[in-house]
Amino acid sequence: MVHQRADSRLEWWKCCSIYQIYPRSFQDSDGDGVGDLNGLLSRVDYLAWLGVGAVWLSPVYRSPMRDFGYDISDYTDVDPLFGTLTDFDRLVAALHERDIKLILDVVPNHTSDQHPWFVESRSSRDDPKRNWYVWADPDADGGPPNNWLSRFGGSAWEWDARTEQYYYHAFLQEQPDLNWRNPAVRFAFADVLRFWLRRGVDGFRVDASAVLAEDPLLRDEPPNPDFDSKTPPPERFKRVFTDARPETMSYIEEMRAIIEEFPDRALLGEVQGGIDRIGQFYDAERPRFHLPLNFLLLDTDWDATSLAAGIDQYINAIPDDAWPVWILGSHDKPRIATRIGIEQARIAAMLLFTLPGTPIFYAGDEIGMPNSVISSEEARDQFEALVPGYGLNRDPERAPMRWDGNEKAGFTSGEPWLPLGDHVKERNVAAQLSDDRSVLSLYRQLMALRQTEPTLHSGQFQPLRSQSQVLLFERCSDDRRLLIALNTTTGSHTVALHDRGMLRLSTHLDRLDEPVASQLHLRPNEGVVMEMLTSSL
């Protein structure tokens, strides 16, 4: 049966699947071992073939690369490592020609310490840009102003001998925090957003959005009651005075207002504080993010009971008219195929594309890429270097994309900036293109099904009680009912049904238009989408 395409009345960010690209690791065009814009441009046809509707591109701004682009020294230029502004414009045009949107990562919380704003700010206490950053006098004992800790380890305050004050940095000491209480900072950042919007960017993903404001009284953080020997040292205190402060919401509202100056754009945000806080980042009366990013699928224990509970908690935590969003992979989180295994990664993919809301996945998830094995000694990530021994190294999930099974995986003609990892021969695009039951084929079929099946992108969500660790739910519209059944175990299970139905897709990709009567038999690690027929047995 052929169904109409996604409802054209829905905004694009509700209809499409979003694909995150970490540019260093996607495709290298000049042999230096680091991905770049021209490399990405050469793969645009692949993105169109795959069926993604939008690309979320991690930072490509000028940067000293202490945090691989999240330490920005110029918000309105491209780092030569990635190319030029002309290359960026060519990329935007090529994506738009294929009806693919571009969402650009933006970092408002901090700059590089090499940004001209900070160079001026630290030059003198009297400099006009002094108050563009967060400066404070020493405590009475001459030490840092309070007990705030950097998320990358150690004090969040760095002494500046020239001006005899400390500056605040929530992350690396080379990433001083901007002072968002200063209207001049907010005006300057609004101009940054407009610069890229005028170049055709379709939206932004706002990095570390919940930490834009700090307590103006600089009060000490309270102890973390859950802190123990297994907890990373930066989490010794609860982040009450440096995370999700009320003022932050007004700053996000100002960013949203800039977005609204341009038609058909979207604002996504990285938020902190757990599921119970995520609803405040929507707020329809005072618009904030279109999509506050939700990492529940990456943080929940992988069994039907835990998943059902987590999904229910999230759905109930966001406003009734809010649009959900789900993330299955990220440059900051271990890859799903490593976390739960390649067979269950297929289950995760079906879950991602059948839940209500917008699905986001990370380049390489569609071929079941695993984490690369990178020791602490080999780590490039400063997080691991500064807080070793707690599994915080993000290099493993940032390993280069595998385009073929050759020595350099089709990523580069030089030496890849990170090791490629294991299973390159079978988990690469070329190998899976020729396999109609591959993970890549599954992703493509799931995205096509979601795009062409109105019930999946805009139908109601109806949870069902799990049976034998089979996660069950329905997506319903006026004339259609789809049952999604996901076996989260390595054993076979049978699910009792009240209605007959027709199997439309299996994660094994070998069952199509198969009638089902009173019982649904699921093989190990199998998930299915089934159209339920209206007549009852």
Rounded distance between C-alpha atoms, residue 450 and residue 350, angstroms = 10
What 3-state class would DSSP assign to 20? Answer: strand
CATH top-level class of 112-194+212-264: alpha beta
- Report the alpha-carbon distance of residue 324 to residue 133 in Å, rounded: 34
173: its two tokens: 């000491």
Going by DSSP bridges, is the β-strand pair 527-536/499-506 parallel, antiparallel, or unpaired? antiparallel
Mean pLDDT, the chain, rounded, equals: 94
What is the torsional sign of CA 180, 186, 188, 194?
Answer: positive
- Is 270 a residue of the active site? no
221 is catalytic: no
Cα 470 to Cα 527: distance, rounded to the nearest angstrom: 9
- Which is catalytic among the residues 36, 105, 174, 207? 207
Alpha carbon distance 484, 482 (integer Å) = 6
Cα(517)–Cα(470) distance, integer angstroms: 18
Distance CA 390, CA 230 (A): 8
Contacts of 424 (CB under 8 A, 6+ apart): 402, 405, 409
**DSSP label at residue 139:** P
Q: Residues 281, 284, 286, CA angle at the centre, nearest 5°?
A: 80
Catalytic choice (7, 99, 261, 513)? 261
Residue showing tokens 């940032």: 398
Alpha-carbon Rg for the chain, nearest whole angstrom, is: 24
Query: Which three-class secondary structure state does DSSP give residue 30?
Result: coil
Q: What are the helix and strand counts (H, E) for the chain?
A: 16, 21
For 350, the enclosing helix (H) or strand (E) is helix 342-354
Pairing mode, strands 470-476 and 266-269? unpaired
Answer whether 314's CB lies under 8 Å from 296's CB. Answer: yes
0.85 exceeded by pTM: yes
| pLDDT the model gives residue 517 | 87
Cα separation, 158 vs 133, whole angstroms: 12
Tokens of 450: 């979601």
What is the spatial distance between Cα 417 and Cα 154, in angstroms, rounded to a whole number? 28
Q: For residues 245 and 131, what is the distance between their CA atoms, to the nearest angstrom? A: 19
Neighbouring CB atoms inside 10 A of 183's CB total 9
**pLDDT one-digit tens code per residue, 155-189:** 999 999 999 999 999 999 999 999 999 999 999 99
Q: How many CA atoms lie within 13 A of 339 on its CB side?
A: 21
Contact 326, 352 (CB under 8 A): yes
CATH code of domain 459-536: 2.60.40.1180
**pLDDT of amino acid 6:** 42
Q: How far apart are CA 217 and CA 369, in angstroms?
A: 46
- Specify the DSSP class assigned to residue 277: H
Instruction: Judge whether 266 and 450 are in contact, CB under 8 Å.
Output: no
Q: What is the pLDDT along the chain (537 residues), one digit of tens a residue?
A: 222 334 557 899 999 999 999 999 999 999 999 999 999 999 999 999 999 999 999 999 999 999 999 999 999 999 999 999 999 999 999 999 999 999 999 999 999 999 999 999 999 999 999 999 999 999 999 999 999 999 999 999 999 999 999 999 999 999 999 999 999 999 999 999 999 999 999 999 999 999 999 999 999 999 999 999 999 999 999 999 999 899 999 999 999 999 999 999 999 999 976 788 899 999 778 899 999 999 999 999 999 999 999 999 999 999 999 999 999 999 999 999 999 999 999 999 999 999 999 999 999 999 999 999 988 778 899 999 999 989 999 999 999 999 999 999 999 999 999 999 989 999 999 999 999 999 999 999 999 999 999 999 889 999 999 999 999 999 999 889 999 999 999 999 999 998 899 999 999 999 888 899 889 999 999 999 999 986 433
| Torsion, Cα of 232, 378, 67, 223 (10° steps) | 10
Residue 452, judged by CB atoms within 10 A of its CB (0-12, 13-18, 19+), counts as middle
Q: Of 265, 288, 267, 263, nearest to 278 (Cα)?
A: 288
- In the chain, domain spans: 12-111+195-211+265-449, 112-194+212-264, 459-536
According to the model, what pLDDT value does residue 479 have?
Answer: 85
The CATH superfamily holding the domain 12-111+195-211+265-449 is: Glycosidases (3.20.20.80)
Whether 102 and 91 have beta carbons less than 8 Å apart is answered as: yes
